[in-house]
Amino acid sequence: MADMICVGTISGAFGVHGEVRIKSFTADPQAIASYTPLFTKDGSHSFDAIQITRSLKNGFAARMSGVGTKEEADALSGTELHVPREVLPSLPDDEYYYTDLMGLEVVDTGGNILGRVHAVHNHGATDLLELTVPSQSKTVLLPFTMAVVPTVDLSVGRIVCDPPEGLFD
Protein backbone atom coordinates (compact mmCIF):
# COMPACT_ATOMS: atom_id res chain seq x y z
CA MET A 1 0.00 0.00 0.00
CA ALA A 2 3.05 2.28 0.02
CA ASP A 3 2.42 3.63 -3.46
CA MET A 4 -1.31 4.21 -3.09
CA ILE A 5 -2.98 7.61 -3.43
CA CYS A 6 -6.16 8.59 -1.58
CA VAL A 7 -8.72 9.74 -4.17
CA GLY A 8 -11.77 10.09 -1.92
CA THR A 9 -13.65 9.14 1.20
CA ILE A 10 -16.98 7.58 1.98
CA SER A 11 -18.92 9.80 4.37
CA GLY A 12 -21.82 7.43 5.04
CA ALA A 13 -25.01 6.09 3.55
CA PHE A 14 -27.30 7.94 1.17
CA GLY A 15 -30.85 6.71 1.39
CA VAL A 16 -31.90 3.20 2.34
CA HIS A 17 -30.88 1.17 -0.72
CA GLY A 18 -27.12 0.85 -0.20
CA GLU A 19 -25.89 4.03 -1.88
CA VAL A 20 -22.95 5.82 -0.27
CA ARG A 21 -21.93 9.46 -0.05
CA ILE A 22 -18.50 10.03 -1.59
CA LYS A 23 -16.23 13.05 -1.38
CA SER A 24 -13.82 12.96 -4.31
CA PHE A 25 -10.29 14.40 -4.16
CA THR A 26 -9.58 14.05 -7.87
CA ALA A 27 -9.08 17.12 -10.10
CA ASP A 28 -12.23 16.13 -12.01
CA PRO A 29 -14.41 14.90 -9.11
CA GLN A 30 -16.42 12.48 -11.25
CA ALA A 31 -13.22 10.83 -12.50
CA ILE A 32 -13.07 8.85 -9.26
CA ALA A 33 -15.47 6.37 -10.89
CA SER A 34 -12.96 5.64 -13.66
CA TYR A 35 -10.10 4.66 -11.32
CA THR A 36 -11.52 1.31 -10.24
CA PRO A 37 -10.79 -0.85 -8.47
CA LEU A 38 -10.71 1.37 -5.39
CA PHE A 39 -9.06 0.01 -2.24
CA THR A 40 -9.43 0.73 1.46
CA LYS A 41 -6.42 2.31 3.15
CA ASP A 42 -5.20 -1.01 4.55
CA GLY A 43 -5.89 -2.85 1.28
CA SER A 44 -8.23 -5.33 2.95
CA HIS A 45 -11.22 -4.45 0.76
CA SER A 46 -11.64 -3.39 -2.83
CA PHE A 47 -14.53 -2.04 -4.86
CA ASP A 48 -14.44 -3.17 -8.48
CA ALA A 49 -17.20 -0.87 -9.68
CA ILE A 50 -18.55 2.51 -8.72
CA GLN A 51 -21.52 4.20 -10.36
CA ILE A 52 -22.22 7.82 -9.53
CA THR A 53 -25.98 8.22 -9.24
CA ARG A 54 -26.32 11.94 -8.43
CA SER A 55 -24.47 15.04 -7.34
CA LEU A 56 -24.75 16.14 -3.72
CA LYS A 57 -23.43 19.10 -1.80
CA ASN A 58 -19.73 18.32 -1.21
CA GLY A 59 -19.73 15.13 -3.26
CA PHE A 60 -21.77 12.41 -4.89
CA ALA A 61 -24.16 9.60 -4.15
CA ALA A 62 -22.92 6.34 -5.65
CA ARG A 63 -23.47 2.63 -5.83
CA MET A 64 -20.41 0.52 -5.11
CA SER A 65 -19.82 -3.15 -5.76
CA GLY A 66 -20.38 -5.24 -2.66
CA VAL A 67 -22.56 -2.63 -0.94
CA GLY A 68 -26.27 -3.40 -1.10
CA THR A 69 -27.85 -2.19 2.13
CA LYS A 70 -27.97 0.97 4.21
CA GLU A 71 -26.22 -0.88 7.04
CA GLU A 72 -23.33 -1.89 4.77
CA ALA A 73 -23.08 1.69 3.50
CA ASP A 74 -23.15 3.09 7.07
CA ALA A 75 -20.37 0.68 8.10
CA LEU A 76 -18.11 2.26 5.45
CA SER A 77 -18.45 5.78 6.84
CA GLY A 78 -15.01 7.38 7.09
CA THR A 79 -13.39 4.86 4.73
CA GLU A 80 -10.64 6.31 2.55
CA LEU A 81 -10.57 5.17 -1.06
CA HIS A 82 -7.14 4.57 -2.60
CA VAL A 83 -5.77 3.67 -6.04
CA PRO A 84 -2.29 2.69 -7.21
CA ARG A 85 -0.27 5.75 -8.26
CA GLU A 86 0.34 4.32 -11.74
CA VAL A 87 -3.36 4.52 -12.72
CA LEU A 88 -3.46 8.26 -12.07
CA PRO A 89 -2.44 10.79 -14.72
CA SER A 90 1.05 12.30 -14.66
CA LEU A 91 1.16 15.78 -13.18
CA PRO A 92 2.75 18.93 -14.60
CA ASP A 93 5.97 20.11 -12.94
CA ASP A 94 4.18 22.61 -10.67
CA GLU A 95 1.46 20.25 -9.36
CA TYR A 96 1.76 17.62 -6.62
CA TYR A 97 -0.26 14.90 -5.01
CA TYR A 98 -0.92 15.87 -1.38
CA THR A 99 0.60 12.60 -0.19
CA ASP A 100 3.93 13.58 -1.79
CA LEU A 101 4.08 16.75 0.32
CA MET A 102 3.47 15.04 3.64
CA GLY A 103 6.53 15.01 5.89
CA LEU A 104 8.63 17.30 3.70
CA GLU A 105 10.99 19.65 5.50
CA VAL A 106 10.12 23.34 5.06
CA VAL A 107 12.90 25.94 5.06
CA ASP A 108 12.92 29.67 4.42
CA THR A 109 14.89 31.25 1.58
CA GLY A 110 17.90 31.54 3.92
CA GLY A 111 17.89 27.79 4.63
CA ASN A 112 16.51 28.04 8.19
CA ILE A 113 14.30 25.10 9.11
CA LEU A 114 10.72 26.23 9.76
CA GLY A 115 9.00 22.87 10.17
CA ARG A 116 7.58 19.82 8.41
CA VAL A 117 4.38 19.37 6.45
CA HIS A 118 1.86 17.67 8.72
CA ALA A 119 -1.22 18.02 6.48
CA VAL A 120 -2.52 19.75 3.37
CA HIS A 121 -5.89 21.50 3.48
CA ASN A 122 -8.06 23.06 0.82
CA HIS A 123 -11.02 25.12 1.89
CA GLY A 124 -11.73 26.60 -1.52
CA ALA A 125 -9.49 29.63 -1.95
CA THR A 126 -6.08 27.98 -1.98
CA ASP A 127 -4.23 25.00 -0.57
CA LEU A 128 -2.72 25.43 2.88
CA LEU A 129 0.23 23.49 4.24
CA GLU A 130 -0.13 22.72 7.93
CA LEU A 131 3.37 22.71 9.41
CA THR A 132 4.58 21.28 12.67
CA VAL A 133 7.12 23.72 14.05
CA PRO A 134 10.19 22.44 15.97
CA SER A 135 9.91 22.86 19.76
CA GLN A 136 6.36 24.25 19.54
CA SER A 137 3.06 22.54 20.21
CA LYS A 138 1.14 24.72 17.75
CA THR A 139 0.99 24.30 14.01
CA VAL A 140 1.24 26.99 11.34
CA LEU A 141 -0.84 27.25 8.16
CA LEU A 142 1.29 28.29 5.20
CA PRO A 143 -0.43 29.35 1.95
CA PHE A 144 0.65 26.97 -0.82
CA THR A 145 1.01 29.54 -3.59
CA MET A 146 3.87 30.22 -6.01
CA ALA A 147 4.55 33.55 -4.25
CA VAL A 148 4.94 31.95 -0.82
CA VAL A 149 6.30 28.55 -1.89
CA PRO A 150 8.54 29.08 -4.92
CA THR A 151 10.33 25.71 -4.68
CA VAL A 152 9.20 22.16 -4.00
CA ASP A 153 12.00 19.63 -4.45
CA LEU A 154 10.61 16.14 -3.98
CA SER A 155 13.95 14.52 -4.80
CA VAL A 156 15.59 15.99 -1.67
CA GLY A 157 12.38 16.18 0.39
CA ARG A 158 12.39 19.93 0.86
CA ILE A 159 10.11 22.90 0.36
CA VAL A 160 11.59 26.40 0.20
CA CYS A 161 9.21 29.16 1.23
CA ASP A 162 9.11 32.93 1.66
CA PRO A 163 6.49 33.15 4.43
CA PRO A 164 4.38 36.24 5.05
CA GLU A 165 5.90 38.50 7.69
CA GLY A 166 4.94 37.52 11.23
CA LEU A 167 3.64 34.05 10.37
CA PHE A 168 6.29 32.26 12.45
CA ASP A 169 6.46 34.76 15.33
Phi, psi of 87 (to 5 degrees): -85, -10
CATH 2.102.10.10 fits 98-161, yes or no: no
Domain with CATH 2.30.30.240 in the chain: 98-161
Contacts 24+ apart (CB under 8 A), 65-70: 67/18, 67/20, 68/18, 69/17, 69/18, 70/13, 70/15, 70/16, 70/17, 70/18
Angle at CA of residue 153, ends 43 and 23, nearest 5°: 40
pLDDT number for residue 102: 92
Residue of 60, 75, 46, 160 whose CA lies nearest to 113: 160
Check residue 160 and give left, alpha or beta (phi > 0: left; psi -120 to 50: alpha): beta
SS (H, E, C) 130-166: EEECCCCCCEEEEECCCCCCCEEECCCCEEEECCCCC
**By C-alpha distance, which of 136, 154, 26 is closest to 81?**
26
Backbone φ and ψ for 32, nearest 5 degrees, come out as -55, -30
Residue intervals in the chain for CATH 2.40.30.60 = 4-87
Cut 0.85: pTM above it: no
Is the domain covering 4-87 a CATH 2.40.30.60 domain?
A: yes
CA nearest 109: which of 154, 138, 147?
A: 147
What is the pLDDT, as a whole number, of residue 74?
95
- pLDDT-based confidence at residue 49 (cuts at 50, 70, 90): very high
What type of residue sits at position 138? K
Task: Kindly report, residue by residue over 140-155, the tens digit of the pLDDT.
Answer: 999 999 999 999 999 9
The model's pLDDT over 36-46, given as tens digits with 9 standing for 90+, comes to 999 998 888 99
Percent of the chain with pLDDT strictly greater than 90: 70
For residues 6 and 85, give the distance between their C-alpha atoms in angstroms, rounded to a whole number. Answer: 9
Looking at residue 97, its pLDDT comes to 86
State pLDDT tens for residues 75-119.
Answer: 999 999 999 989 888 888 888 888 889 999 999 999 999 999 999
Predicted confidence band at 2 (pLDDT cuts at 50, 70, 90)? low
